[in-house]
Amino acid sequence: MLEENENAIKDAIKKDLGRDAGNEFSLAMEEIDTLLKHFQEWGAPKKVKKPADLESDDELVIKPEPLGVVLVISPWNFPLHTSMPCASALAGGNTVILKLSEISPTFSSTFASLVAKYFNNKLFAAVEGEVKEVKALLDEKFDHIMYTGNPTIAREIMAAAAKNLTPVTLELGGKK
Residue 74 near residue 98, CB atoms below 8 Å: yes
Torsion angle of alpha carbons 146, 122, 62, 143, nearest 10°? Answer: 40
Q: Using the predicted structure, report yes or no on whether residue 10 has a pLDDT greater than 60.
A: yes
CATH code: domain of residue 41: 3.40.605.10
Do 85 and 53 touch, CB atoms closer than 8 A?
no
Number of domains the chain is built from: 1
C-alpha–C-alpha distance, residues 40 and 131, integer Å: 38
Spatial separation of the C-alpha atoms in residues 71 and 118, rounded to whole Å:
19
Q: How does residue 174 score in pLDDT terms, banded at 50, 70 and 90?
A: low
Inform me whether the pLDDT recorded for 34 exceeds 80. yes
Give me the sign of the Cα torsion angle 143, 25, 109, 116.
negative
How far apart CA 124 and CA 41 sit, in angstroms, is: 23
Quick: pLDDT tens for 140-160. Answer: 999 999 999 999 999 999 999
CA 9-10-11 angle, 5° bins: 90
CB within 8 A of 42, min separation 6: which ones? 64, 91
Which domain covers residue 146, as residue numbers? 3-172
pLDDT at residue 54 tops 60: yes
Cα 139 to Cα 99, 135, 155, 163, 167: the distances in Å are 14, 6, 15, 9, 15
The pLDDT confidence band at residue 138, using thresholds 50, 70 and 90, is very high
Distances (CA, A) of 127 to 3, 24, 48, 63, 105: 22, 21, 40, 31, 12
Model's pTM, two decimal places? Answer: 0.91
